[in-house]
Amino acid sequence: MSQPTPPNLVQGVCGDCHGVEPPFLSPNPSAPSFADIANRQGMSEESLTSWLIEAHNYPELMDFELSESEAGEVARYLISLQSEDYEKAP
């Protein structure tokens, strides 16, 4: 099954640091890939949307604001990357 294509918002806001599409190689080695984030235990669209809107513990490089709609778009894309057989790359 093919992976979904990230929305332009995701590529523009997140892609400079995070691996947002296959092969999920993050340009910033300290930034987890979107596949890694999506497949963390307990991740849901609701928890991600809330964190993206309300989090005040972003790293300095993530100092930006998303509207509720934008946060939902990012969260929906992230959740679309969940996989039952996901294995984090070494």
- Specify if 39 maps to a domain: yes
pLDDT of residue 44: 95
Is residue 29 in some structural domain? yes
Where does 15-55 have alpha helices with state H? 34-38, 45-54
- pLDDT number for residue 4: 79
- What pLDDT score was predicted for residue 57? 61
In a domain, 50, yes or no: yes
Residue 34 lies in a domain: yes
pTM of the model: 0.85
Let me know if residue 28 belongs to a domain. yes
Residue 2 lies in a domain: no
Domain range enclosing 60: 8-80
Is 86 inside any structural domain?
A: no
Residue 3 lies in a domain: no
Contact by Cβ (8 Å): 37, 19? no
- Predicted confidence at residue 25, as pLDDT, reads 92
Mean pLDDT by 10 residues, the chain (90 residues): 79 90 90 93 93 73 80 94 88
CATH number at residue 45: 1.10.760
Say how many domains are in the chain: 1
